Amino acid sequence: MAGNAPIIERDVMVPLRDGVRLATDLYFPPAWCEGGDPLPVILARTPYDKRNQAETGTRAARHGYIYAAQDVRGRYQSEGEFYAFAREAPDGYDAVEWLAEQPYCNGKVGTMGQSYEAVVQSAMACLSPPHLSAMVVTYGPSSYFHHSMRHNGALELRFFVYAFLMASTSREALADPTLKAALDEAYASIWDWVRACPIRPGESPLALVPSYERWLIDILTHVTYDDYWRQPGYGPRPFYDRHADVPTLYIGGWYDSYTRATVENFVELSRRQTQPVHLLMGPWTHADAGVGRAGDASFTDGGLDDYLGLRLSFFDRFLKGEGADFGQERPVRYFIMGGGEGPRQDDAEVRHGGEWREADSWPPEGCQPTAFYLHPDGGLSCEPPSVESAATSWTFDPSDPVPTIGGNLSALGVDPGAYDQRNDERFPFTEGTLPLSARRDVLCFMTEPLGEDVVIAGPVQVVLHVATDAPDTDFTVKLIDLYPPCAAYPAGCALNLTDSIMRLRFRNGFEREVLAVPGEIYEIEFELYPTANRFVAGHRIRVDISSSNFPRFELNPNTGGPLGSDRRRRVAQNTLYHDIERPSRMILPLLG
């Protein structure tokens, strides 16, 4: 329909304060003409080629907006050097203010986008540009150090993969076929490079694009929470008190890699802002916002009929002052997973089901943190352990880690979402088909079959009493909804909900490293990603403890040496205590 096509002005070069120019495609409403009434502008800044924004730009223009799709610094048609994430704040500020000054803009600029496109929004908002008027932030960080890039001291290896992927699509590679071939070959062998982690300067193909190599080595070796991580591009947490006070919708997924960050941004900015802040949490993965499926699990009514339409409706309300409904009446709309029909006989799909709810806050009203204790016989209950002395030990060998089976990932070579926790050829570093619970380095604790439904919604925490014979090691935790046996899963289906890791050298905080005294018992407390789930009567709640979840998280060499550069590895003997004096436990947010 040519008559309904937007007017597109391509590769408008937007000047920045340092003289670099960013290539921007502008989509104007059909039949709009120069000199017409000024309109609000929606800006999306991306490292993934602004031409991929054509469908969104076309629809936004037809909806009555001017849509600006911009390549970030150093990517595709934009000038400058690309250094991922950290330095995006001033560029975003300058882009917003330049657009606001144009005669076609009415002075209101909204921003939207997902993942990196969410990062640049929050970075820019930390500088509070005067003409920023509304934001829709999907899957963005709050603090890349504390969770999402590093996670309680451990690097999330998806960013190791990300560096190789982005290098293969770099502006330098696209301009040089020989360079492109070298970087494509490296990415095709990415799991071999992951096994070789950490990389050293000049010893991988990333050295052919120095800013990409420098970024990866920086995130590998900046292991404490220093000034490097306090840049706006690594999340708004240090800047909440001066963050732009504009209407904002935060969108997240229970199986996204930014689940905890999305909720944290909503909670902290709701306390500070005068303008409305909203939260939408669905049963989604990083690549599939609004789709009612995550891995092998499906969720009846868990999708969105029109994900882009919802976002445009939000802008209608806060950029145009039109309409009052964008899909939720209260500040929080969230999906409680579970309660579906479960697996059928003929396939592996788990029809986990669920329902939407709304609330005025997060955690929802009525949330009651409740301790579930880990017992020496493998039991899990609200009753504290009664034995005077009990401990379970295991061997953590970094050369034979527990493989990652789904979870909160970004689909960079490892599928995110919910899966039965067993070895599966769909995932790297797995062998055979045995369940992970069969491994000697995985400790399982589970309730008796539930007599009635148990519903949780909110943050999930663990308190563990642990020891090791190594100077440093890791402890991992996973929360599982254990289905009873059925035809499709004769041994039951251990469906993962959320997980986390804690590096022992950071037990006293993330500003400094304190190595462990071999054999000394430490109490450690840390958060898993938040979730919302109905454990149906007849199911069991299960908690798995180990020391690796690879390649979701980098491996701890157990040596106590410098993280991100130590070439050595050693085996660690790790111990979990669960007795009267040392009651290890998971704290679940029970509703009702």
Residue 271: burial class (beta carbons within 10 Å; 0-12, 13-18, 19+): exposed
Query: Can you read off the two tokens belonging to residue 141?
Result: 């960080």
Contact, 457 vs 364, CB < 8 A? yes
Q: Nearest 5 degrees, angle CA 73-CA 78-CA 84?
A: 25
Q: Which residues pair with 144 in a beta bridge?
A: none
Q: What is the DSSP string of 460-525?
A: EEEEEEEEESSSS-EEEEEEEEEPPP-SS-TT--EEEEEEEEEEGGGTT-SSS--PPPTT--EEEE
- Strands 39-46, 105-114: pairing kind: parallel
108: Cβ contacts below 8 Å, ≥ 6 apart: 40, 41, 100, 131, 133, 134, 319
- CA 40 to CA 38: how far, in whole Å? 7
- CA 136 to CA 2: how far, in whole Å? 30
Confidence at residue 188, expressed as pLDDT on a 0 to 100 scale? 96
**pLDDT per residue over 172-217, tens digit each?**
999 999 999 999 999 999 999 999 989 999 999 999 999 999 999 9
Confidence at residue 2, expressed as pLDDT on a 0 to 100 scale? 55
Question: Which of helix, strand or coil describes residue 307?
Answer: helix
Confidence at residue 1, expressed as pLDDT on a 0 to 100 scale? 44
Residue ranges for the chain with pLDDT beneath 70: 1-3
DSSP-H helix ranges across 32-157: 54-62, 89-101, 116-125
State the fold for domain 367-591: Jelly Rolls (2.60.120)
- CA 140 to CA 122: how far, in whole Å? 8
Q: Where are the domains of the chain?
A: 1-138, 150-224, 367-591
Confidence at residue 459, expressed as pLDDT on a 0 to 100 scale? 98
Under the phi-then-psi rule, with left for phi > 0, alpha for psi from -120 to 50, and beta for the rest, what region is 557?
alpha
**pLDDT per residue over 545-572, tens digit each?**
999 999 999 999 999 999 999 999 999 9
Break the chain down into helix, strand, coil percent, rounded to 5: 25, 30, 45
Q: How many residues in total does the chain contain?
A: 592
Assigned architecture for domain 1-138: 3-Layer(aba) Sandwich (3.40)
249: Cβ contacts below 8 Å, ≥ 6 apart: 135, 136, 137, 278, 279, 280, 311, 314, 326
1-138 and 367-591 in the same fold: no
Confidence at residue 11, expressed as pLDDT on a 0 to 100 scale? 98
- CA 338 to CA 336: how far, in whole Å? 7
- CA 149 to CA 154: how far, in whole Å? 8
Confidence at residue 80, expressed as pLDDT on a 0 to 100 scale? 98
DSSP-H helix ranges across 138-228: 158-168, 171-175, 177-188, 190-196, 210-221
